[in-house]
Chain A
Amino acid sequence: MKLSTILRHMREGAKNIIRNGWMSFASMSSMFISLFILGVFLLLALNVNAMADQIESQVQIRVYLQLNVDQAKVTELQNKIGNITEVSNVRFVSKAEGLEILRESLGKENEDLIEGYENEKNPLPDSFTVEVYDPLTIETAVAQIEAVNKADEALPIAKVKYGQGTVEKLFTITNVVRNVGFVVVIGLGITAMFLISNTIKMTIIARRREIGIMKLVGATNSFIRWPFFIEGALIGIISSVLTTVVILVAYSQFVDFTETDLALMMIKLVTFKEAAGMTALLLIGLGTLLGIWGSTISVRKYLKV
């Protein structure tokens, strides 16, 4: 194909969007709406997923020590707990570190809540964070840790905490949420395709004559196909870029706006930066594919002699 022909196809493809104003508008609108809903659900799914991860990772055992436990004892306890079969990891969390973690989870706005509790005034005890290989064996692990405590006359462990009983429930909930989110996203994808293919069906009927005339003057099939192909891709790109911009701007506003309130509830949304790449890639990629796919099938149907 000659360069001038390639340029001609691009020019025609772009011009056709304007020439078929209302049809293009209809295609773009239906694509915008479908991709928008898809995007909203994608963000929702991303957040649910992140929260599920958060909750899962929080399924760990906190072992709080008495206030007077010395360094040698700490090392000894850490080794003993680490030797329990179910335990995958034991990490020592000093009282200072504990305060820092609390500060972070409260967020910048609420930092003042813990002001004045630094250093000597720190009320938190030293602790261990214990993780298990399989969250379902958590109760066995806890029993073993309590056994370690009882074997020591000084009873150096003050308290063993874990999400008693709720752990199993949490897992079913996060799993259900994930699966439902997945099904909803797939369902919406199919709906979007249906909406777009419907618009294209109308476009085909409007374009039959045009294709017929092109063939009559001796245009080859590929010559006829290209501008439609470019038109479809452009419609896909334009509407998906628009959707992405609208959704991401709205999301970043939403994140900013709710940050303070959600921090108090210990919920952290997926940040704009984390969400942007994935959302843009999925929406623009899908939009472009849908646009090309739509125009390709619509033309192929009428290219047969």
Chain B
Amino acid sequence: MNVIEMQDIWKTYADGTHALRGVSVRIDRNEFVYLVGPSGAGKSTFMKLIYREEVPSKGQISVNGFNIGKLKPRKIPYVRRNIGVIFQDFRLLPKLTVFENVAFAMEAIEAPRRVIKRRTMEVLELVGLKHKHASLPAQLSGGEQQRVAIARAIVNNPSVIVADEPTGNLDPETSLGIMNLLEEINFRGSTIVMATHNKDIVNSMRKRVIAIENGNIVRDEARGEYGYEA
């Protein structure tokens, strides 16, 4: 079953920029997909369409079986609960502790308090930060902050994880740790779509690679390579 399906997607921003020009793609349950391509190619736009931050100007997109281009605004939160999003800049709430930052995603779906406590500690353990649950984001390293963001993204067991250059701000060693974590999450059953400029990571993992240039998919290989000079 396709978790993500795009048919002839066009995205033109208000200023007339054509960010995507007729993209069609299918991503299966439990796939791990790298999105590569030069800056400004349309990778972030591709992902924003998946988590319904943007709507397509033309074409059909479905995620988890929902036609999300036509989604009523009222329904958006419920679709997002099945999609975990990870960014280059972590986007943690600076005034909340590590625990609160993660628990907050469960409070949003009105999970019972007992369940929140147990599950939050569980994912913090998975990302290796159980001992830092009471720290504030500012007291953590970049890699640790990204782990908290990952914990928040997976805490509600989403079927899809969208990661936009999650290692963009991290050094190679820390990046490797983050990749291992994402691989583990993929292994546990989540579909992962990740945009990256990291040649080493793509080439060492040998997963599906979709290359976007100038708003078009120019390459889609099952066990692909980065394909650009680093």
- A–B Cβ pairs within 8 angstroms, 7 of them: A8-B113, A209-B93, A218-B108, A218-B156, A220-B108, A221-B77, A305-B76
A2 to B78, CA, bound (A): 17
A215 touches B80 (CB 8 A): yes
B73 touches A305 (CB 8 A): yes
Q: Is A183 an interface residue (CB 8 A)?
A: no
Question: B78 to chain A: which residues have CB within 8 Å?
Answer: 218
A219 touches B91 (CB 8 A): no
Our pick among B73, B91, B109 for the contact of A213 (Cβ within 8 Å) is B91
| A217-B152 contact given A4-B112, A5-B110, CB 8 Å threshold | yes
B18 to chain A minimum Cβ distance, whole angstroms, is: 22
B93 touches A213 (CB 8 A): yes
| A217-B76 contact given A19-B95, A209-B91, A210-B93, CB 8 Å threshold | no
A4 touches B95 (CB 8 A): no
Q: Is B105 an interface residue (CB 8 A)?
A: yes
A216 touches B95 (CB 8 A): no
A302 to B48, CA, bound (A): 18
Contact with A along B92-120 (1 / 0, CB 8 A): 01011000000011011110110000000
Taking Cβ atoms with an 8 Å cutoff, the residues of A that contact B are: 2, 4-5, 8, 19-20, 209-210, 212-221, 223, 305
> Total interface residues on B, using CB and 8 Å?
23
> Which residue on B lies nearest to A212, using beta carbons?
B91
Q: Is B51 an interface residue (CB 8 A)?
A: yes
Question: B76 to chain A: which residues have CB within 8 Å?
Answer: 215, 305
> Which residue on A lies nearest to B54, using beta carbons?
A305
> Which residue on A lies nearest to B71, using beta carbons?
A305
A4 to B107, CA, bound (A): 10
Question: B96 to chain A: which residues have CB within 8 Å?
Answer: 19
| A217-B80 contact given A209-B91, A210-B93, A223-B108, CB 8 Å threshold | yes
B85 touches A8 (CB 8 A): no
B146 to chain A minimum Cβ distance, whole angstroms, is: 15
A211 to B215, CA, bound (A): 30
Question: B93 to chain A: which residues have CB within 8 Å?
Answer: 209-210, 213
Question: A215 to chain B: which residues have CB within 8 Å?
Answer: 76-77, 80
A218 touches B109 (CB 8 A): yes
Contact with A along B167-193 (1 / 0, CB 8 A): 000000000000000000000000000
> Which residue on B lies nearest to A224, using beta carbons?
B108
> Which residue on A lies nearest to B55, using beta carbons?
A305
Question: A216 to chain B: which residues have CB within 8 Å?
Answer: 51, 80, 85, 91
A219 touches B113 (CB 8 A): no
Q: Is B81 an interface residue (CB 8 A)?
A: yes
A212 to B93, CA, bound (A): 10
A126 to B27, CA, bound (A): 106
A112 to B176, CA, bound (A): 95
A3 to chain B minimum Cβ distance, whole angstroms, is: 11
Question: B109 to chain A: which residues have CB within 8 Å?
Answer: 218
A218 touches B95 (CB 8 A): no
A147 to chain B minimum Cβ distance, whole angstroms, is: 83
A305 to B78, CA, bound (A): 14
Our pick among B104, B110, B112, B113 for the contact of A217 (Cβ within 8 Å) is B104
Contact with A along B25-50 (1 / 0, CB 8 A): 00000000000000000000000000
A215 to B51, CA, bound (A): 11
B117 to chain A minimum Cβ distance, whole angstroms, is: 12
Tell which of A4, A20, A212, A218 has the most Cβ of chain B within 10 Å.
A218
A218 touches B80 (CB 8 A): yes
A185 to chain B minimum Cβ distance, whole angstroms, is: 38
Question: A212 to chain B: which residues have CB within 8 Å?
Answer: 91
Question: B77 to chain A: which residues have CB within 8 Å?
Answer: 215, 218-221, 223
A221 to B73, CA, bound (A): 10
